[in-house]
Chain A
């Protein structure tokens, strides 16, 4: 997994609340058996018309945002299905961080498995960053994971909360399964005890 340390980028504004995983990657693209290649279908039904042509008004079709690595989004981003195809599609497009007032639980967890940082900030700070995002190339947002800060285009610094374990894994690009398998003796002994206590499982 790629490490995440710092990031400075144009941010794409998506103020709509409750952006769900069906919007992020519609189900017809879940038929893949691979993780890669979903970026071209990110936000497919908002991004392309019925004939597959780009809808010029959609934010990621605008020249300023085609290479955005940050999304600033409305409340409750990523609600709905558990599909990890949502962060895969965002990552494949080039998005490395999403900033919102809140995220749906499964989407939030899925981001970290893919080297992507979801950042929760209070509404007034998200509003400032949303304004920056609307300025396109004229306002870059910076993120420092180690310091847990987001810096707006005019230098206002906002601190965000993050679980220390998730931060550690992201900073170092660590694979969860490898870490867990280091505790295999604990799993073995739990399993042995559970087989005694709850043999019907």
Chain B
């Protein structure tokens, strides 16, 4: 029977299947951070259980850690410090791989995994974090789990799962200049809604996806969860293999050859069955921003703030509430919305290519006076590379703060937060009420668009900026 890529990875990991289709699925990589794991380790301790496969378990603190240069002096917030200390103690006691705060390899768990070669094609990867879908860019089946499931994986290296349905999201043709992976993934959510993928695993395919770099593919898969899907994945190809080769934990020698032979089979069969298909034309995708408090509230930057009455059902009230929260008026041009903060970073857009894209716009420019702008690299290694390439200096010269690695203002668990009413151009993944700080207002966009907004102080069409610099 013809199979999808998801079918193939699933079949290779079924330990046991019950008559009703409930499966025990083997987990190849378990990524752990400080927020969703303390109760799981405590559960192991209370029941006298061990971590079954510490060699397949990787821990790194990211959500709570300060990103200011003085963080070596310790974490001021007591609760955050307790949580990071708990991860430190648990990682050492249970003997899992661990990158502590002061290790240059520390960073956002979804950036560290691929960077260190832990994430490989055909694997099952889980983490107590919904953006685990990021790793799907390698043709791995990767998804978020809750803390009880974290404990389950720690104890058994398996998960109890029922198979999801197969959904194909095809982006045909090529992207227009100024349009990026972020615009693809936001446009898909705009088209399908935040529940459009519920019950499905998405495979992204088509020419525009193939033409993306690995960094861009990670951005696309990262937000699969924002469309409701359990996971998003992309078939591995030469770009994937080139990215993986030589990474610290990637296979080497004869094992590399054996792995590569299997990885090359990891693609959906031509006549595989899809339960749902969504197709977008790459050339039709515009640079987009969000206007509301759900990632599905997406519009091209050339549009105006919508009228809540133009929606139907429960979305009418939700849109009204969103505009009230965001302080926007129907009919207002998106490019007239003024911002006071710019955040470049996160597991969605905190990789080297994202920083290059933003720096290309900012080179020789200054941010609008009075604006607060920060770049938070996704890992210590991304930060080091950006410094080596001269990107850090471009950001600093433009007026950006150049930070240490962490999740930072994506979810504002550390001191990087918006104040009530502050408006942020953000490269992160969620614009929920209060996400970046109570009362904070978030507009999601690509790194280049965020950089352009930093210069003008308002939401800006990247194509206008590009036209000026040519």
B70 interface hit (Cβ, 8 Å): no
Residues of the B chain whose Cβ atoms lie less than 8 Å from the Cβ of A187? 15, 24, 26, 52, 156-158
CA distance A165 to B77 in the complex (A): 42
A113-B148 contact given A30-B413, A163-B162, CB 8 Å threshold: yes
Contact call B194/A83, Cβ cutoff below 8 A: no
Q: Of all chain B residues, which has the CB nearest A110?
A: B146
Residues of the B chain whose Cβ atoms lie less than 8 Å from the Cβ of A53? none
B145 interface hit (Cβ, 8 Å): yes
CA distance A28 to B64 in the complex (A): 10
From A80, A102, A114, B130 is in contact (CB under 8 Å) with: A80
CA distance A16 to B143 in the complex (A): 27
User: How extensive is the interface on chain A, given as a class?
Assistant: 35 or more
Residues of the B chain whose Cβ atoms lie less than 8 Å from the Cβ of A198? 12, 122, 259, 262
B371 interface hit (Cβ, 8 Å): no
CA distance A113 to B40 in the complex (A): 12
A16-B318 contact given A30-B413, A109-B149, A187-B157, CB 8 Å threshold: yes
Interface residues as binary, A93-113 with B (CB distance below 8 Å gives 1, 0 otherwise):
000000000111110011001
Residues of the B chain whose Cβ atoms lie less than 8 Å from the Cβ of A30? 35, 63, 413
Contact call B158/A33, Cβ cutoff below 8 A: no
22 contacts between A and B (CB under 8 A): A16-B321, A23-B433, A31-B77, A50-B438, A74-B314, A75-B313, A79-B228, A82-B145, A83-B35, A103-B198, A104-B195, A163-B22, A176-B148, A177-B151, A180-B152, A183-B15, A186-B16, A186-B24, A187-B52, A187-B158, A200-B258, A201-B123
For window 76-117 of chain B, which residues contact chain A by CB distance below 8 Å? 77, 79-80, 82-83, 86
A76 interface hit (Cβ, 8 Å): yes
Contact call A18/B251, Cβ cutoff below 8 A: no
Contact call B160/A180, Cβ cutoff below 8 A: yes
Chain B residues at the A interface, C-beta cutoff of 8 Å: 12, 15-16, 18, 20, 22, 24, 26, 28, 35-36, 38-39, 42, 47, 49, 52, 56, 63-64, 77, 79-80, 82-83, 86, 120, 122-123, 128-130, 132, 143-149, 151-152, 155-158, 160, 162, 194-195, 198-199, 225, 228-230, 251, 255-256, 258-259, 262, 294, 296, 313-315, 317-318, 321, 411-413, 420, 430, 432-435, 438
Residues of the A chain whose Cβ atoms lie less than 8 Å from the Cβ of B195? 18, 75-76, 79, 102, 104
Q: Of all chain A residues, which has the CB nearest B411?
A: A27
Chain A residues at the B interface, C-beta cutoff of 8 Å: 15-18, 20, 22-23, 26-28, 30-35, 45, 50, 74-76, 79-84, 87, 102-106, 109-110, 113-114, 163-165, 176-177, 179-181, 183-184, 186-187, 190-191, 194, 198-201
Residues of the B chain whose Cβ atoms lie less than 8 Å from the Cβ of A81? 129-130, 144, 411, 430
Q: Of all chain A residues, which has the CB nearest B49?
A: A177
Nearest-Cβ distance from residue B153 to partner chain A, whole angstroms: 10
Q: Of all chain B residues, which has the CB nearest A28?
A: B413
Residues of the B chain whose Cβ atoms lie less than 8 Å from the Cβ of A164? 20
8 residue pairs, one from A and one from B, having the closest CB atoms:
A200-B251, A113-B148, A31-B79, A84-B146, A17-B314, A110-B146, A33-B38, A82-B144
